Amino acid sequence: MKNRSAIFVIAALLIAAAVGLLRLSDKTVTDMPATDMPVTDMPATDMPATSDPPAADSVPAAETPAADTEDLNVSMPPMEVYAAACFRDMRLRNPRGRILSLTANRLADRCAVIVETNERSGRWMFDWRDYNRGFIHEGELRWPDVWPVGVPQQGIEDVEAFAEGAVALMADARSSWPDVPHAEWLYEIHWLPAPFSRPLVFISLADRRSDAAPYASLDLIFDGQQVLAGETAEQAKGLYPVTRFELREDHNFKGPIYESTALAEAATSLETADVGLPTHPLAETAEQCVALLRSVLLGRRVLRVSMNALECFMVFENPNTRDDYYLISARGPQDYTELKSLLLPTTPAANLLLDRGRLSAARVRERLDQAQKAGGETWEIKRLAIAFADGDMVWQFDGPLGAERMQVYLNEAGALIEQPTEFPLSAHELDQGFAPTTPVLPFVN
């Protein structure tokens, strides 16, 4: 029944190489990308490896060991304790908006949530924690195509109540197979559409009998305190969703899938030196900037990214302190400067700010072409900035047009828009010649 895959991968080995070179001085970088893992012809399942996985930047995809059926950590607390802590942590990281899914994988020591990007935004994101790599914001999701159109009014509202309810449900699950060797594996809460239109709890115990098939599980589905059976249970199984981030290349799963809005986009160009070099001076900077952006601090929010022909600037949330944002300037993976924290007039409330999955070098080149057409052939784009403004990803292009200075703004979809009321930039970037907008974020003294 379960298709929770261990196949969380990166798009290019170039990004992984950059990770090994960037170590921020007093901010701990734990959110490192994984390497590709081959997908077998059986349904992919989130079973852990028997030993610590190799470093993401040192082992080719084909050499990464396949998942096994042994416990990752035999001292792990019982499922009800593990799941409760997992769910509370995920809500604490994403305090706003409706929740559609909560997953606790005790064997692989992974937690995940599907939650709204902001209060009543109607847009959904995937956030998860890996035992080895920390938290990772995977970005936005699309509503499953096979589900009826329409979002829940409530979703999983009371996370604390569901966490406390795990005690009774796990007792029922254990008592269902008292003499069967098993390990406590998955505790999941999924909001399902009609005919349910409410959250159900899915519990899976890994079947450890000697004759059990690989990845076999003992499964129960709860609607409140009631165990579903027969046709109703089959309906629930048919509506059981997974995200594309979990399946990746596994095309055997035929159920509902939360597709990624940007999973197919590689961070950097795939062209070689012989084919298609960047045509705009900013495009080359974008290659370096985007590679770093999608390699480090993957579990933290990004407020702003900007670049000129020499360097790029990124405003990250501090990995150790929520709502503390600081500035990094970089000219390459070995040439960077970590600057001070910034003073924000108001801290962003949204669970997701810039979706870095949508910030590829190819997308930057595309937006540069669109802005150039909007500004005309004689306009010279000198600077580019992308910021979370008015609840959206807004692109700013700046440069001289004759004796005047002009800016062009595009929204997330690439459409031409007026300058937003607020477009944050740091005082340091202002000193570097970026277009003056508000609010200006000074360094904290």
Compute CA 242 distance to the chain's CA centroid, rounded to the nearest angstrom: 14
The token pair that represents 408 in the structure block: 């062009």
CA distance 123 to 110: 23
pLDDT of residue 159: 95
Check: CB of residue 274 under 8 Å from CB of residue 64. no
* 185, 204 Cβ separation under 8 angstroms: yes
In this structure, how many other beta carbons lie within 10 angstroms of the beta carbon of residue 36? 19
- Give me the pLDDT at residue 157, please: 86
Q: Determine the Cα–Cα distance for residues 131 and 133; give it in Å rounded to an integer.
A: 6
pLDDT, tens digit, 9 for 90 and up, residues 246-264: 886 555 688 999 998 876 5
Tell me the pLDDT tens digit for each residue of 372-419. Answer: 999 999 999 999 999 999 899 999 999 999 999 999 999 999 999 999
Type of residue at 14: L
Q: How far apart are CA 12 and CA 9, in angstroms?
A: 9
Residue 94 to residue 201: CA distance in whole angstroms: 21
Interacting residues of 23 by C-beta distance below 8 A, sequence separation 6+: 29
Short-list 41, 46, 43, 42, CA closest to 7: 46
In order, the DSSP letters of 43-110 are PP--PPPSSPPPPTTTS-GGGSPPP-SS-S-TTPPPHHHHHHHHHHHHHHHS-SS-EEEEEEETTTTE
Q: Which helix (H) or strand (E) holds 382?
A: none
Q: How far is CA 445 from CA 66, 204, 339, 397, in A?
A: 50, 52, 12, 30
**Contact assessment for residue 250 and residue 44, using Cβ atoms and an 8 Å cutoff:** yes
SS3 state of residue 287: helix
CB 112 within 8 A of CB 101: yes
Question: pLDDT tens digits, the chain, 445 residues: what are they?
Answer: 555 533 333 333 333 333 333 333 333 333 333 333 333 333 333 433 322 322 222 222 322 223 334 566 667 899 999 999 999 999 999 999 999 999 999 999 999 999 999 998 999 999 999 888 899 999 999 999 999 887 788 899 899 999 999 999 999 999 999 999 999 999 999 999 999 999 999 999 999 999 999 889 999 999 999 999 999 999 999 999 999 888 865 556 889 999 988 765 666 665 444 445 557 889 889 988 998 898 888 999 999 999 999 999 999 999 889 999 999 999 876 788 899 999 999 999 999 999 998 998 889 999 999 999 999 999 999 999 999 998 999 999 999 999 999 999 999 999 999 999 999 999 999 999 999 999 999 999 8
Q: In Å, how far are 93, 146, 316, 427, 430 from 341, measured between CA atoms?
A: 20, 45, 9, 12, 16
> Taking the model in full, what pTM does it have?
0.82
Q: Which two tokens stand for residue 14?
A: 């170039």
- Residue 314: strand, helix, or coil: strand
CB 68 within 8 A of CB 32: no
Distance CA 409, CA 420 (A): 8
- Which residue shows structure tokens 């022909």? 309
| 58, β-bridge pairs | none
